[in-house]
Amino acid sequence: MEFTESYKQTGPCCFSPNARFLAVAVDYRLVIRDVLSLKVVQLFSCLDKISYIEWALDSEYILCGLYKRPMIQAWSLTQPEWTCKIDEGPAGIAYARWSPDSRHILTTSDFQLRLTVWSLVNTACVHVQWPKHASKGVSFTQDGKFAAICTRRDCKDYINLLSCHTWEIMGVFAVDTLDLADIEWSPDDSAIVIWDSPLEYKVLIYSPDGRCLSKYQAYESGLGVKTVSWSPCGQFLAVGSYDQMLRVLNHLTWKTFAEFLHLSTVRAPCYAAVFKEVDEPLQLDMSELCLSDDFIQGNSDAPDGHVRVRYEVMEVPITLPSQKPPADKPNPKQGVGLMSWSKDSRYICTRNDSMPTAVWIWDIHRLELAAILVQKDPIRAAAWDPTCPRLVLCTGSSHLYMWTPSGAYCVSNPLPQFSVTDLKWNSDGSCLLLKDKESFCCAAMPILPESSEYSSDD
């Protein structure tokens, strides 16, 4: 892996969908860099500090959410003189997003009074009253033709189907939820999944015409659904719950065909590889090596000092570090809080929030646990390579941790005083964006050969 030098950032950073540009918020400025050279290609000045950034799907336009003002500003890469400003006045703006056609912006006002569709082609506006959520509750079909928007009125939840061509309401139907949490179209656009708040375990599958295709409830009298995610192929629906279980439903019968439990103690029979992060002191023979002052200083300033981080393969049984959430506080840190599918839909990684230092990787084809990565620190972020089954995660240390079906390994970031707190893949899998508290860098990723072999060492 090759790392670039670090650059300043004070807010969100994200790659463009076409993988050519990188947008970085630096206080009031929006900096657009070329991905290959990281040279500045455009610089836009906003009216306030940037809280949110989102690219249009065509990578030509980009919007900035100035939520403290509150206001939205949009810019064009091909026409730098073009600008757009959206101000809802007293209603405020709590969130903004692009439509699939890259020519409309959807904003949600404060207190969810209304959702407004703004056209960049003309001055037309379309309003949807009483959206259920600000940043959630809106989902578009993969072909970009329709939008499903959750609304709530008269103490009932509804789904509004809108045409993304005319923005006319094509249909409205009520859903059987007490307090709808979120919504997501299936990858083949044939079904809509919605799920209830954690207080009521309920996952509902609806057809676009409003028919309830299935209702799934794993148990009663307990905190319910925490995370829901479609597999990229559309054949599986994963549901992570507060009972520390991952359940996978199939798209034909909508029945559970796999249940995976996150146990604090892993016992035999277990055929999964358990990788544990360990420190290995550097063995330096000062009589044979002549080290420069720069080398010694650089290692002394490193967060982990004179150590090499590596993975050690552990034998079962093994007890994973866990914590019991306090019973008198809301939003308990338990259950499946992180869940992500690999691009080929074969693997799914999870983190049980009561065991924040462990990530579990499940093999859906074999219906078994493939690996466990046990870190020294809580896992901050984990993301799959968009082109192959390669998982990368960070823990706020100076290292990156990677897993492939061939094994797991650690990579040290050579930048001094750089702690990786967040990461994002470029859409072509060529590089990673790594974020520290006030800086970022990029790491060029090697292409994995089909029969790659990795050791567990650095």
> What does the pLDDT read at residue 117?
97
Name every residue whose Cβ is closer than 8 Å to that of residue 212 and which is 6 or more positions away in sequence: 176, 204, 205, 206
**Where is average pLDDT lowest: 77-81, 303-307, 360-364?**
303-307
Average pLDDT for 35-51: 96
CATH class of the domain whose range is 7-87: mainly beta
And the tokens for 262? 């996150």
- Residue 149: name the closest of 104, 110, 189, 180 by CA: 180
Q: What is the pLDDT of residues 369-426, one digit of tens each?
A: 999 999 999 999 999 999 999 999 999 999 999 999 999 999 999 999 999 999 999 9
d(CA 227, CA 246): 9
CA angle 114, 120, 123 (to 5 degrees): 70
**Which one of 279-283, 315-319, 454-458 scores highest in mean pLDDT?**
315-319
Distances (CA, A) of 230 to 42, 240, 322: 36, 12, 28
And the tokens for 406? 């061939």
- The answer to whether 368 and 271 are in contact (CB under 8 A) is yes
Q: What is the pLDDT of residues 61-84, one digit of tens each?
A: 999 999 988 999 999 999 999 999
> What does the pLDDT read at residue 34?
97
d(CA 203, CA 215): 6
Q: How confident is the model at residue 89 (pLDDT cuts 50, 70, 90)?
A: confident
> What does the pLDDT read at residue 449?
63
> What does the pLDDT read at residue 185?
98
d(CA 228, CA 205): 12
And the tokens for 375? 């870190």
Average pLDDT for 224-240: 97
- 3-class DSSP assignment, residue 91: helix
Distances (CA, A) of 387 to 187, 366, 391, 395, 424: 17, 21, 11, 23, 14
> What does the pLDDT read at residue 122?
87
What single string gives the DSSP state of each residue in 121-160?
Answer: SSS-EEEEESBS-SSSSEEE-TTSSEEEEEEEETTEEEEE
Q: Which amino acid is at 144?
A: G
Burial class from Cβ neighbours inside 10 Å (0-12, 13-18, 19+) for residue 288 reads: exposed
Average pLDDT for 332-343: 94
And the tokens for 436? 């520290």
Residue 131 has pLDDT above 70, yes or no: yes
Q: How confident is the model at residue 283 (pLDDT cuts 50, 70, 90)?
A: low
- Residue 339: name the closest of 325, 360, 318, 320 by CA: 360
> What does the pLDDT read at residue 329?
80
> What does the pLDDT read at residue 293?
41
d(CA 129, CA 112): 8
> What does the pLDDT read at residue 306?
47
Residue 136 has pLDDT above 60, yes or no: yes
Q: What residue spans in the chain does CATH classification 2.40.10.480 cover?
A: 7-87
Q: What does the CA dihedral 193, 198, 199, 201 come to, rounded to 10 degrees? A: 40
Mean pLDDT of all residues belonging to the chain = 91
What single string gives the DSSP state of each residue in 341-378?
Answer: E-TTSSEEEEEETTSTTEEEEEETTTTEEEEEEE-SS-
And the tokens for 323? 């914590």
Average pLDDT for 103-128: 93
Q: What is the CA radius of gyration of the chain?
A: 24
And the tokens for 236? 């599986």
Residue 450 has pLDDT above 70, yes or no: no
What single string gives the DSSP state of each residue in 229-291?
Answer: EE-TTSSEEEEEETTSEEEEEETTT--EEEEEE--SEE-SS--SEEEEEEEEE----TTT---
Distances (CA, A) of 160 to 97, 180, 187, 188, 375: 17, 14, 19, 19, 44
Residue 298 has pLDDT above 70, yes or no: no
And the tokens for 309? 């981080």
Q: How confident is the model at residue 281 (pLDDT cuts 50, 70, 90)?
A: confident
